[in-house]
Structure 1
Amino acid sequence: MTAEPLVVIGIGHDGADGLSQEALTHIHQAKILAGGVRHLAFFPQWQGKKVVIDANLKRVMQQLEASRQQAKTVVLASGDPLFYGIGRTLAAHFPPESLSFLPHVSSVQLAFARLKTSWHDAQVVSLHGRPIESLLPALSQGAPKMALFTDAVNHPAAIARFLLAHGYNHYDLSVCEELGGTSERVTHWALQDIDDTSFSPLNIVVLMRHGDAPTSTPLPLLGLPEQSLAHRDGMITKREIRLLTLGYLALHPGEVLWDIGAGSGSVALEAARLSPSLRIFAVEKDGNALRHIVENVQTLATPHVQPIHGEAPAALAPLPDPDAVFIGGSGGRLPDIVSTVADRLRPGGRVVMNCITLENFTLGWSLFNDSSWQAEATSVQLAHTKPLGQMHRFASDSPIFIIQATKL
C-alpha cells in the first residue's frame, strides 16, 4: 500500500477560521496531526494522534516518516511553510511526490498589507537564531524596505539600538504583532523612541528608509577596492589577482575554505561575499594583521569568516577539513603546510598559492608537481597607466606566480 502524501498546511493566527475548505477537509480526514504547540492548540476537539514539532527536527522527521506510513498525516506550520518555515526541511527530507503544500498568507505579506505598502522591492532578513550582524549586508546596500524575522534576543528594541549604533538612523521601524489574530497590533516608531518597549514574541519588524535619506555607494559584489579594506603598507592581494585566485579556487556553496597567511583577509573576504553558506577560516600569525581581518569582517558583515590567530600548520589542526585552500603566506613553513593540506584536503579539493619570489615559486612547484596533484602554474604581470608629463605610460607591477593544484 502506497502511503498518502504528507499534507503541509499553512495556518495564521486566526487558526481554523482562516483555513480553506480544502485544508479543513484534509485535517478532518487525517489520523495524525503534527505541528507546534501553538498550532495544535487551534484544534482542541480534534480526535487522533498529535505529534509536537520542536527543535529536535531529526527526531521529528523520523516520526513524520513513520506516521505517514501508518495513516494520513497533516503538518501544520505558520504562514507559508516554504518561506523561512519547516517546509524547507521537509522538502530536503522527503521526495517531492511524498509532499503536498497548502500555504497560508505569510506574515511578511500581512505586514506590508497592514502598512499599505508594496513589497516587491523589499529585502527579507531572518534574525531568528542568527547574529544581528546579518542585517549589515542589506543595510550597506541601502535597502529601501526590509522585513525582519525576530527572536527573543533580536527583538525590536535591540534592532533599533543596532541601527543607531551603526549610523543607520534614516530608517523608521514598524512592529507588526499577532498578525491575523484577535490581538493584532501595528505600531510605528522612530529608532530613538522604542527604548525597551516590550512586544508580543509573535512579531515581525519592517524597516522603511526615509525617502530623502542619502544613500552611500554600495561596494561591488566582486572586486573590492583596496581602500575599502583595512591593511598595512600595501600588504594586500591586488584586486585583479584576487579575482584570478577566486576563479582558480572554484568555490561552491557550503564548502570550507582555508586562507593560510591571510594578511588583511582580502581573499577570504572576497570569497565570503560570493556565498553566505561558505565556511571560511582566515589563519594569520601576526597580531596586527589579525586585527585588520577582524575589522574587515565587521565592516563587510561577513560573520562566516572566522579569524584564526596562529601559525600554520599547527593552527590548522582544530579546523574542519577543507574543500579549498589558499596559501598567501607560509612563514618559511611551506613544506609542512603542504604536507598538512595534502592530508586534510578532501579528494578533488583545490589549492591556490600565490608567489612573489622565484625561490618560493620553485619550492611550491616542486611540492605540488607530483603524482598526488594535478598542478598548473600561471605568471601574471599587471601594468597600470601613470601620468608622464602631458601623456601617460604603463607602469608594471612585479610579476605574480600562481600555482593551482587539484588533489587526485
Structure 2
Amino acid sequence: MYKAIVFAGTTEGYELCRFLAEHQVQVLGCVATEYGTKSLSESSFLHVQGKRLSEEEMEALFEMERPEIVLDATHPYAAEVTENIRRACEKNRISYIRVLREESSHQKAVYVESTEEAAEFLKTTEGNVLLTTGSKELKLFTGVPDFQKRLFARVLSLPSVIDTCRELGFEGRNLIAMQGPFSEEMNAAMLKQYDCRYLVTKDSGKAGGFLEKIQAAVSCGVIPVIIGRPLNEQGITLADACSVLAEKFQFSMKPQVTLLGIGMGSRDTMTVQGKTAVENADLIIGAKRMADAVRLPHQDVFYEYRSQEIADYIHSHPQYRKVVIALSGDVGFYSGAKKLLELLGEDTQVICGISSVVYFMAKIGLSWDDAKIVSAHGKSCNLVSQIRSNKKVFAILGTPEGTAELARKLTFYGMGDVLLYVGENLSYDNEKIFVKKASELTEYQGDALSVICAYNETAVEEAATHGLPDEEFIRGKAPMTKTEVRTVSMGKLKLKKDSVCYDVGAGTGSVSVEMALCATEGRVYAIEKKEDALDLIRQNKEKFALDHMEVIAGTAPEALEGLPAPTHAFIGGSSGNLKEIIHVLLEKNRNVRMVINCITLETVSEAMECIRQLKAEDENTVWETDIVQLAVSRSKSIGRYHMMMGENPIYVITIQEVR
C-alpha cells in the first residue's frame, strides 16, 4: 500500500515523487501520458502509473490503496482533473493537498486581454515567437518589429489560409501549416526547433489543446503569452508541501549541497565530475556570470554570491534536493568556499576546478610552482613590493584600470622594464592574452575580469625581517634610529603581515621602511614634521618600492587625525607631546601595541608617568610594560687598532593592554 499518491504531470509533481522516495516513503506517481512517465525513474519506494484516470477510477484507486495523503500537482489549467481528484478524496475521506507552482522568471506567464494587447507586448520583447492563435487575427502581429524573421505562425493547412498568410508576409519556415490536435511533445519539438522564447495562445480550454501548449512551454523554458484572464487557485507551494510531508512522515530535510569550482567560466574548462554534478542538480546558485555559465535549460537558478544569503535561501527552499553553488576557478583559490563550508556544514561536497593561475600560466608558457601568487581583487596585497622581490608574481586584479594602475606604480618605482603578461576573459570567446613592458601599459584600459603575471628579471631578494644596515638608507642630517636599536624595537613591536603601523617622528624613515618590509599586507604611516626629513622618507620609500607606506606631514597628535586605527605604533620623537600621543593612540585602538624610544631621562620620566596614569585609571586593567635599556658600542679603526666607541644609551619601552 502506498502512503502517498502524487498526481504529477508538472515539474513540481515529479519533484514531490522523488522527494518522498528519497526519504523512503512509499509513493505512487500518477501521470496522464507516456511522455510523463519518462520524467520519473521507478525505485523500491516509487512506482509510476501512466494513464488518464476518471473520477470513478480515482475513487477505486484510493479505496484500494488507502493512502495517508494525496497531492495534486497537476497543471494549473487542468481544472477538470483537479476537481475529480478533490471529489474522490472527499468521498474516501483522504487528506488532499493542492500544490501550486511558484512563479519564477522562466515559468511566469504573461496575461493580456486581447490579441491586440498580445501584439503590443511582443513589440517590447526580443527572441522568436510561436503564434498558435490561428490566421484570422494574424494581421495584428505584422506590426511587431522584424516579424517576418521572429514570428512563426501555426495555422490550418488550407490553401486559402496559406495564401492569406503569404500576403501578410508569413511564408517559408515562418509559416507552419498543420492540422491538430497537437500533443505536448509536438508543441515542445516546435518550440525547440524554432528556438522560441515566447508562445502566444488563447485560453481555449481542453478542446483547443491549451493545456498541452502550456505544459510544453513550461518544459522548454518558454514564456506563455495567454489571451485571457489568469486563474486564481488556492493551494500551497512546493516548498510548503515538502515541509508538510516531512512533518507528517517524520523525517528531516537536508539537501545535498555541492561547492563547485567551474574553471574560468567556459563549460570547456569544467571537469567531468563538475559537469555531472550540474546535470544532476535541481538548483544552481552563484553570481550571475558563474550561474549562467553552467546552468542547463529549465534548471532553477538563484543569483547570489554572498555566503549568508546563499545559506538562508537553501534553508528556506527545502524542495531542492541537489544544490550546486558555482564558484569561479577553483574552490581553494581565493574562493568563497571557506565561508560557505562554515555555514553549510561538513556534509557539503566540494569539487575542485581549474584555477585561473593554472590556466593562465599554461597559456603563457611559464611554470607557476615558483611564482608568488596573490589577489588584488577587493583587498590590499602591496603588489609593487611583491614584484620588486619576486621574479614571477601572479595576481588577480578585478578592475578595468588594474593593469594601468600597476604599470604606473612600477614605472614610478623604477621597474618600468618589468614584463606584464595580461590575461582577460580567460576561456571565453573574447579571451585576450598579451605581454608588454610595464612602461608601455600606463594608459591601458582593460577588462575587469583580468589577471597578470609580472616577470621581473632583476628582482632583489626579500629583505631580512628587520635589521637593515644603516648604509642601505638614504641619509641626511635628520636623526636615524640605528640598526641595533631598530632590531630590538622591531622585535618588541611583534608586527604581523597585515599590521597597520604608525611611525611617529619618523626621521629618515628607517623604522617605517622596516615596518613596511614586515607588514607586507598592511599599511604604514610615517609621521614627521620637518621638511628635510619628509624628503628623506619619500626617497627611502621610493628606493625600497614601498607603495603601502604613506608619508604624513605634521606634528603628532594632530597629524594622527583621520588616519585608520593602528594595531602597532613606534614613537621615535614626540616633540614633548608623548602623553597626548599615547592618549590618541588608545582612543583609536585600546589594544594598540606601542614601542617608545627614549634618549633623554626627561622622556623616560614622561613615559613612566603615562604608564602610572594608565594603571591608576582602572585597577582591573592589566598592562604589559616592558622596559629595556640598550648601551651599544661600535668599533672604530685607529691605525692598526680598534677602539669601541659608545653610542648614546637608549630606553626601549613597550606598552600594551593585556587581554
Q: Quick check: TM above 0.5?
A: yes
CA distance in 2, matches of 1:345, 1:198: 40
Determine the structure 2 residue equivalent to 1:16: 267
Shift in CA distance, 137/95, structure 1 to aligned 2, threshold 3 Å? farther
Residues 361 and 196 of structure 1: is their aligned pair in 2 closer, same or farther, counting only changes over 3 Å?
A: closer
Q: Relative contact order (C-alpha < 8 Å, sep 6+): which is higher?
A: 1
- State the alpha-carbon separation in 2 of the partners of residues 297 and 255 from structure 1: 18
Instruction: Quote the residue 2:415 is aligned against.
Output: 168
Secondary structure of 2:481's counterpart equals coil
Match of 1:367 among 593, 610, 620: 610
- State the match for 2:313 in structure 1: 67
For residue 300 of structure 2, the aligned residue among 26, 48, 71 is 48
Does residue 308 (structure 1) correspond to residue 552 (structure 2)? The answer is yes
Q: Distance in 2 between matches of 1:161 and 1:68?
A: 45
Which residue in the other structure is 1:57 paired with?
A: none
Question: Residue 32 of structure 1 contacts residue 67 of structure 1 at CA under 8 Å; is this kept in 2?
Answer: no
Conservation of the 8 A alpha-carbon contact between 2:504 and 2:574: yes
Identify unmatched segments of 5+ residues in structure 1: 54-59
- The answer (yes or no) to whether the contact 1:11–1:78 under 8 Å persists in 2 is yes
**How far off is 1:398 after superposition?**
0.9
Matched, 1:123 2:375: no
- The answer to whether the aligner puts 1:325 opposite 2:573 as a matched pair is no
Name the amino acid aligned to 2:427.
Answer: G
Q: CA deviation digits over 1:247-282, x for unaligned, max 9?
A: 222334544433322223332331222233434433
Cα offset, 1:395, TM superposition: 1.5
**In structure 1, which of residues 180, 188, 191 is the aligned counterpart of residue 427 of structure 2?**
180
Name the structure 1 match of 2:599: 356
Check conservation: 1:223, 1:240, Cα contact below 8 A.
Answer: yes
| Contact 1:231–1:289 (CA under 8 A) maintained in structure 2 | no
Change (3 A) 1:52 1:329: same
Give 2:391's aligned residue: 144
Deviation of 1:192 (Å) = 6.5
**How many residue pairs get matched?**
394
Assess if the C-alpha contact under 8 Å between 2:265 and 2:290 holds in 1.
Answer: no
SS of 1:137's equivalent? Answer: helix
The aligned residue for residue 91 of structure 2 is none
CA distance in 2, matches of 1:240, 1:330: 21
Could you tell me how far 1:323 is from its partner in structure 2? 3.5
1:111 counterpart residue number: 360
Matching residue of 1:56: none
CA change 1:104–1:354 in 2 (3 A) is same
Distance change in 2, residues 1:382/1:124 (3 Å):
same
Offset of residue 240 of structure 1: 1.5
In structure 2, runs of 5+ residues without a counterpart are 1-251, 617-622
Using the TM superposition, name which of 375-384 and 40-49 deviates more. 40-49
Q: Deviations over 1:13-70 (max 9, x none)?
A: 46334433432343344343222222222225142132233xxxxxx22311212323
Report deviation, 1:329.
1.2
Q: Normalization by structure 1: what TM-score? A: 0.82
CA distance in 2, matches of 1:256, 1:190: 32
State the TM-score, normalizing by the size of structure 2: 0.53
Q: Deviations over 1:361-398 (max 9, x none)?
A: 12222321453544232110111221121121222111
Paired residues of 1:5 and 1:97 also in contact (CA < 8 A):
no
Q: Structure 2 CA distance, aligned partners of 1:197 and 1:343?
A: 43
User: Cα–Cα, structure 1 residues 199 and 402, in superposed 2: closer, same or farther, change >3 Å?
Assistant: closer
Q: Percent identity between the aligned chains?
A: 27
Matches of 1:105 and 1:317, distance apart in 2: 46
> C-alpha displacement at 1:168, in angstroms?
3.1
- One of 285, 288, 305 as aligned partner of 1:37: 288
Residue 398 (structure 2) pairs with residue 154 (structure 1)? no
| Structure with the greater alpha carbon radius of gyration | 2
Rounded Cα–Cα distance in structure 2 between residues aligned with 1:39 and 1:355: 57
Per-residue Cα deviation, 1:88-118 (whole angstroms, up to 9, x for no partner):
5545x63762643322111211122223332
User: How has the CA–CA distance of structure 1 residues 3 and 275 changed in structure 2, closer, same or farther, with 3 Å as cutoff?
Assistant: farther
